[in-house]
Structure 1
Amino acid sequence: MNIMYICVKNEATRSDILQLVNEKNIEELKKRLLKRMEFGTAGLRTRMAAGFSMMNDLTIIQTTQGLCQYLLKNCPSVKSKGVVVGYDGRHNSERFAWLTTTVFINAEVPVYLYSRVCPTPYVAYAVIYCKADCGIMVTASHNPKEDNGYKVYGSNGSQIISPVDKYVAKSIEENLAPLITSWDASVVEKIPLRKDPYNDILKHYNEDLKKLCYFRSVHTFTYTAMHGVGYPYVIEACKVFGVREPVPVVEQIMPDPEFPTVRYPNPEEGEGALSLAIDTANANNSSVILANDPDADRLAVAEKLEGGKWHIFSGNEIGALLGWWSWLSFRQKNPDVPASDVYMLASTVSSKILQTIARIEGFNFEETLTGFKWMGNKSDEYLKAGKTVLFAFEEAIGFMCGSSVLDKDGVSASMVTAEMATYVYDQGLTLYKQLENIYQKYGYHISLNSYFICHDKDVIKRLFDDLRNFNGTGKHPDTCGPYKIKYVRDLTVGIDNSKPDNIPTLPVSKSSQMVTFTFENGCVATLRTSGTEPKIKYYTEHKPDPQKGLDKQSTQHELEDIVQCIITYFLQPEKYNLQTRVS
């Protein structure tokens, strides 16, 4: 890394602002300088550019100064326990990580700074292993190449949640003036307060990974890192699991911040993002694709079906498979552990398939708000109470297998999936056929999820405000086209009319939009904003009801019609100028 380049104030971003001034581009200057990025439970994530509302050297320094002062005041042990800092392969990620480290070291706080790019779960794991008071990962995950981010973990190895985010945000506001020392990253190389955790974490992470291994896998898989950091870490994990090294998508295995072969570096986007992986798998007679996103905390799975067509599993489908497998393999190894001491979790917008399995098998299911920060912290509570947390997932292809990492982890999930697939194939089945078996045993859970893009926060607020006044002031809709709505839960304003007192059991957050409709026919639909992307997302799930004459096919058709009604009557893309998703 060119240390001298970041030992001075950044002339590139200064020049950008001066150019806007010379051009008299007042509107752009207002966007850049009159609003600051909001620090929340997701930390920071936005475009890299000059200005207080963007990711750049100055805003990284300001954020870190505020976080550091919060920790010194509220966790004085940070002076001895330190913090963990990691980064992915995006533009400026290493640079931002070094500036972050500089601020902490100048405050005499030890820093475990990775010497190379690493998966996000390696930071979550290292916080616990190193007994640190905090972790920071510089990553924008699967966002476009123009973005970067700053994710913060607490001392329990899980992402921070409210009210800690509010306290940190306040501390940032109180420490905006950049110290001269904060710009000089050369201190990172000179002071012994900086330690490299790479070798220790690589060793101990993989030793803990053995807890998830039940038998050796010999099936051949295709793997893509999506131009991210995952490949060398997956190779190490393969050695632990006895999995053959996967067939790599050569064009995508090395970190490349330009993401040259994909429009979006997001394996969740489907066949468009996985086209090279499919070509590689076809050429190598491989029937299963495992795909990590660029920071390797998420996992996509695809399988070649009879006839040569590829099925790309949704996050809910993978969740069903891994939930089934987690219970089956745990039960075989631990037949005497009471089911009442075992937990699985899922976010409220994810499929309720785990809840159904739990009801039949006897273990516990916990629903949380959207995001692994909630599932991670809830898992930590259960672990401290002596319970076993087997699995957690969210529909956005995030999976937590076991509890060594209290966050989604695409590395461990890829290995568990590889082992599960080998077991399934040994039974003469495929993953797709096994999924069908799961649904036949526990009931079909049919989902249809997608999103619209909107970059204007005021428009998004107006859309949701219009929903809250759909039938007059303060009255949510009671129908959506021909479909009657039975219950409405609004976690932005704190209403749930399925409860006697109308108060929801899940936490309320005024800073994010989230409304759930339960229809009289049993379908559940949630509309929410993304915490990290300019998206309005919708999530729907419907279950067949033989008493109403609804089999799988008719349920699918009814769900598709309900979704179309939601788009037509609630989202109204033309009215609010929403952009459709592009794969």
Structure 2
Amino acid sequence: MGDDNGVNGDLNANLRCPSTGDPQLDKAVQQWLTWDKNRWTRAQVESLVAAGRWEELRSRLCSRMSFGTAGLRAPMGAGFNRINDLTVIQSTQGLFSYLCRYFPDFSSRGVVVGFDTRGQEESGCSSERLARLTAAVMLSRDVPVHLFSAYVPTPYVPYAVKKLGAAAGVMITASHNPKEDNGYKVYWCNGAQISSPHDKEILRSIDGQLEPWSTSCWEEELVESCSLRTDPLTQINSCYMEELTSLCFHRDLNSRCPLKFVHSSFHGVGHAFVQQAFQTFGFTPPIPVPEQKDPDPNFSSVHLPNPEEGESVLELSLLLAERENAPVVLATDPDADRLAVAEKSDECGWKVFTGNELAALLGWWMFFNWKESHPDPAETQSVYMLATTVSSKILQAFARTEGFHFEETLPGFKWIGNRMHELAKTGNTVIFSFEESIGFLCGSLVPDKDGVSSAVVVAEMASYLHNKNLSLNQQLHNIYQTYGYHVSKTSYVICNDAPTIHKIFSRIRNFDGEGSYPKTCGGVRIVHVRDVTTGYDSSKPDLRSVLPVARSSQMITFTLQNGVVATLRTSGTEPKIKYYTEFCAAPGKSEVSSLEAELRKMTAALVDEFLEPEKNNLIRRRV
């Protein structure tokens, strides 16, 4: 909004710093020292200038963040490519500018703003502070802001956007990223994470609004005094818990459940909300892991605050469950939108379910209960389940047998959320959605993955199965016997060098000469190649992928002659190349060990032949 009263106006001539010898860097340093009002981040830049650390300054100041998975995510600290007061203010100014153009009634609809528990308040980069600055920018332009007064699970922001009719939502979170990171996640008016073209237009608007409009953008006090600021916490929490009961099918059984559950909130926001969700379903609340119950931005008891890492980060939860004789462990990630589950097993200690295995259980459970209340087979025609294309095909097997619809989307819940919105407009119902990275949505309560509701739904499923003398793992095998075993492997390598990632995928696209993809993997013929980055699909008559082209990330899928489907893709939020492989067997076959052995062999070949970890200095996943 190019305002005449920008902070300090033009570049302040009184702010002097030594020339770096690079005019672009000189200008960037001068801009930072002119615009930044945060003592902590200003001091970082001043210290780097004084030490003559020009490369470090160039890295921080001469590039900007781009929108990844529905927003911005980066380390906290000084720099235009990091999360800090200035970049959050700039981002919010750009968001305001775009929303003003898009929504004629923006000034009455307003925005929702939430935050998690990341960052140290004394460092000036806490999530709460960044949320309040986001609110201050909007309030300085007389836009109503529904700012949560305390930390909330990420799903509460999209839920509130829909419930309150807001134009957009912002959640300050970096989910399960390392403690050094934070993020700025944006939701559209339909409650789904923003997707194209909104993400590109917002980014363009940010680039046009880099100078802070006025000092009021930095004034957290404005948030307290402004009548346009409301606190939706009590209303939204009450409505969410009330609507959560639509996913509760066996309340009487829950109240008599003899099972104990252990829950870890991974030092994040989930504890109180999961406790309340259990009470809403009639359960005794789960036993919290005491060391991980309360927020801790240092994530002091885990090497990574990501429950997707499995047993290596669930150690405290499993030890507590052993002591308490609790057969089921539930773990929500720090912003409570993902869920990991482990179950005590007589054969092998603890079974930590993969995201694909949990999806098989939850998909079965949701359709089982839906059929109980909708006995007319004709109603099945309006039922959908959704999954990202790198996830297990188990829901496709369900749909083929049971007669409902199944659709795949590109990776990321933004695609699922937006597709849910489209299906709802035509009178269809999505009863379950998932992505293999332990992101689940039971029903359509929120158009985003939700660890809180998923946790209590898993508890009810475990309770019901226990009443039938079945464990979760036993039921998983029953499902595979009925619909066919789906054996999958998901992991990643770390690559901190963007040019190396580009080189790896360029080599794959020109493997046997220019424009020629690999013809074999592990000695097995590749029958189809789909490259979503370029829009190529060899299985289609016109060689064009049905899925939307996603040029901002890398993703190639190989279908092999032996039935294995393998995908390589880059993460939208972390320096990882992820790989996904799956073997899908016909119903009734149970040679699981041979399927697993073949899949291990094919996965190893995929990584060694196409990624060349040693040659490219890739770091394999720590197990």
- More displaced 10-residue stretch of structure 1: 89-98 or 26-35: 26-35
Q: Distance in 2 between matches of 1:88 and 1:577?
A: 34
- Post-superposition shift, 1:552? 2.1
Q: Is the 8 A contact 2:278 2:284 kept in 1?
A: yes
- Post-superposition shift, 1:507? 0.4
- 2:346 partner SS: coil
Equivalent residue runs for 1:20-419 within 5 Å: 20-91=48-119, 92-180=126-214, 181-216=216-251, 217=254, 218=257, 219-307=259-347, 309-336=349-376, 338-419=379-460
Q: Is the 8 A contact 1:136 1:152 kept in 2?
A: yes
Q: Is the 8 A contact 2:145 2:228 kept in 1?
A: yes
- Post-superposition shift, 1:179? 1.9
Q: Distance in 1 between matches of 2:54 and 2:560?
A: 47
Over the matched positions of the two proteins, sequence identity in percent amounts to: 53
- 1:575 partner SS: coil
- TM-score w.r.t. the length of structure 1 is 0.97
Q: Is the 8 A contact 1:8 1:183 kept in 2?
A: no
- More displaced 10-residue stretch of structure 1: 37-46 or 198-207: 37-46
Q: Is the 8 A contact 2:522 2:601 kept in 1?
A: no
- 2:366 partner SS: helix
Q: Distance in 2 between matches of 1:41 and 1:308?
A: 37
Equivalent residue runs for 1:473-488 within 5 Å: 473-488=514-529
Q: Which amino acid aligns with 1:556?
A: E
1:185-229 CA-partner distances (Å, limit 9, x unpaired): 210000111100000001100111010000122232110100010
Q: Is the 8 A contact 1:544 1:551 kept in 2?
A: no
Q: Does 1:428 align with 2:469?
A: yes
- Post-superposition shift, 1:453? 0.5
Q: Distance in 2 between matches of 1:500 and 1:310?
A: 47
Q: Distance in 2 between matches of 1:499 and 1:507?
A: 14
Q: Distance in 2 between matches of 1:62 and 1:561?
A: 49
Distance 1:203 1:456, change over 3 A: same
Q: Is the 8 A contact 1:42 1:532 kept in 2?
A: no
- Post-superposition shift, 1:546? 9.8
- Post-superposition shift, 1:474? 1.0
- Post-superposition shift, 1:308? 6.5
Q: Which amino acid aligns with 1:32?
A: R
Q: Which amino acid aligns with 1:406?
A: P
| Structure 2 equivalent of residue 4 of structure 1 | none
1:259-293 CA-partner distances (Å, limit 9, x unpaired): 00000000010111100000110110100001100
- Post-superposition shift, 1:73? 1.1
- 1:573 partner SS: coil
Q: Which amino acid aligns with 2:445?
A: S
Q: Does 1:562 align with 2:590?
A: no
- Post-superposition shift, 1:545? 6.1
Distance 1:472 1:546, change over 3 A: farther
| Structure 2 equivalent of residue 9 of structure 1 | 37
Q: Distance in 2 between matches of 1:152 and 1:251?
A: 31
- Post-superposition shift, 1:251? 0.8
Cα RMSD (Å) of the superposition? 1.5
Q: Distance in 1 between matches of 2:435 and 2:236?
A: 26
- Post-superposition shift, 1:560? 0.6
**Unmatched 5+ residue regions in structure 1?**
1-6
- More displaced 10-residue stretch of structure 1: 221-230 or 180-189: 180-189
Q: Is the 8 A contact 1:40 1:169 kept in 2?
A: no
- More displaced 10-residue stretch of structure 1: 463-472 or 23-32: 23-32
- 2:541 partner SS: coil
Q: Distance in 1 between matches of 2:353 and 2:36?
A: 48
